[in-house]
Amino acid sequence: MKITQIVLASRPNGLPVLENFRTEEKELKSINEGEVLLGACFFSVDPYMRGRMNDSKSYAASYELNNPIVGACVARVIESRSPGFTIGDFVVGYLPWATNSIAKAEALRKIDTHLAPLSYNLGILGMPGLTAYFGMTEICKPKAGETVVISGAAGAVGIVAGQIAKLREAYVVGIAGTDEKCKLLKEQFGFDEAINYKTLQLTDKIIAGICPKGVDAYYDNVGGEISSSVFANLNFHSRVAVCGQISQYNRLKPAIVPTILPEILTKSILVQGFIVGNFSSRFGEGFAHLTQWVKEGKLKYKETIVQGFDKLPEAFLDLFSGKNLGKMIIEVG
């Protein structure tokens, strides 16, 4: 079978460009015992994949040059040599950016197609949803009436994190990069306030104006100067979940921001970085809660769906200019 795949052609220097990717054709071998042949339906592009394009050690291994990019994907089983899967099943797994691929059965999760749209398994019912769930419930731990700030609020993780804080009856403030995103956060997702950091230069005073009682919990998806302005407003015994630092991923030198350690000391602030995998033994619990809330209409979701396998690199790059509202998904067909 002839397939199309997208490989890492070169490593980025700063912001990735389309030339870092190359599309090529390949002949796929036949499948072995315990394997399935898959046809890709939906791909997820995620900010952490930027780190994997570097040749440096991190929690996720680097992509190898001239090998396919790998990411979360919902696919359909076309042929199976595993008793656990039959033709027509839908699965989710970490698969190569390829129109078709062969995977070991044990690396795939079968999707219950009755629960939600298939693509939700890459977002609210997938890694980003679980990230929001554990970061908010285990680190931010908001109580009723507390003020919670979320940066990167209109993205895959932020939208869910904010709604979970609302379920806990917190006062929720989102930070996002367009007026449209801010309007939606308030009107559709129940945020109490939303600030466009691109039109309003965020300072300590601006955050203080929007959070008059100070900030009790901060869910940080972006880092850099935005986070510094929130940090200056943290309350005694506040909590910070350091989930992502997207403002730093393409920088050749890290941003110079005020030191936060004195603030952490004098206000007894808990700051905890985390990777969703830290909670892997509890994914079942997280998935069950998220699924239930989606079914009950307590959690709403939003996706930006781009059509066409060839649009994968562009959609990935668009994460860094904020073109996505909610989860960025690529529909292959």
Which chain residues interact with ligand NAP by CB under 6 A?
46-48, 128, 131, 152, 154-158, 176-178, 181, 221-222, 243-247, 274-276, 319-320, 322, 324, 327-328
Structural contact between residues 137 and 207, judged by C-beta atoms closer than 8 angstroms:
no
Nearer to ligand NAP, 40 or 124 (CB): 124
Least distance from C-beta 51 to ligand NAP, angstroms? 8
Least distance from C-beta 243 to ligand NAP, angstroms? 5
Least distance from C-beta 275 to ligand NAP, angstroms? 4
Least distance from C-beta 270 to ligand NAP, angstroms? 16
Nearer to ligand NAP, 79 or 204 (CB): 204
Q: How far apart are CA 266 and CA 237, in angstroms?
A: 10
Residue whose pair of structure tokens reads 């300590």 in the numeric block: 204
Nearer to ligand NAP, 68 or 326 (CB): 326
Nearer to ligand NAP, 148 or 154 (CB): 154
Nearer to ligand NAP, 76 or 302 (CB): 302
- How many other CB atoms are there within 10 angstroms of residue 148's CB atom? 30
Nearer to ligand NAP, 204 or 225 (CB): 225
Nearer to ligand NAP, 116 or 195 (CB): 195
Q: How far apart are CA 240 and CA 73, in angstroms?
A: 30
Least distance from C-beta 45 to ligand NAP, angstroms? 9
- Give the residue closest to ligand NAP by C-beta: 155
Least distance from C-beta 327 to ligand NAP, angstroms? 6
In the chain, where do the E strands start and end? 2-8, 21-27, 35-44, 70-80, 90-96, 100-104, 109-110, 147-151, 171-176, 193-196, 215-220, 234-242, 270-273, 303-307, 327-331
Residues 6+ apart with CB under 8 A from 324: 155, 156, 304, 315, 318
Alpha carbon 285 to its chain centroid, in Å, reads 19
Least distance from C-beta 199 to ligand NAP, angstroms? 11
Helices (H), 139-231: 156-167, 179-187, 204-210, 224-231
The closest alpha carbon to 328, from 150, 139, 128, belongs to 128
- Give backbone dihedrals phi and psi of 202, rounded to 5 degrees, phi first: -70, 130
